[in-house]
Amino acid sequence: MDDCVFCKIVRGELPSWKVWENEQAIAILDLDPITAYHTLVLPKSHYENIFEIPPDLLKEVIAATQQVCLLYREKLGIQNIHLLNNNGRQALQSVFHMHIHIIPVTQRVFPGPIQKHPELMSQYPEMLARLE
């Protein structure tokens, strides 16, 4: 889609903080992170949500998600994560290109509203360097 922010990232028209990539999927750091290394894994092809994506491509996105999680465990020692996928406006989907959030958990988060920490973006260069 021409106006989809994730499609623009895939096409190289918008900058991103790329963590991982293969032919089918890409993983990027979230621009409005909840925790350090909050990552989005998305198919390179545009599908609005879980209801639209073909099963074979969904398998590739899930496999890519696992690869990033394994990378974080190996390089960073992250043992606890949330995986999140929102589908539809009422489910708080804000970018209508199917994606999975990887949200590392390093401390117990108590129930309540999710707090975002955009100040973490200033640490992205260092965070990516730790993954090399």
- Nearest in space to 83 (alpha carbons), one of 130, 36, 41, 20: 41
- Under DSSP, the state recorded for 122 is G
Structure tokens at 59: 């398998």
Alpha-carbon distances, residue 120 vs 25, 54, 81, 127 (angstroms): 24, 34, 17, 10
- Which residue in the list 82, 99, 101, 117 is annotated as catalytic? 99
In angstroms, rounded to a whole number, what is the distance separating the alpha carbons of residues 47 and 56? 13
Asked about 99 being catalytic, the answer comes back as yes
Catalytic residues: 99
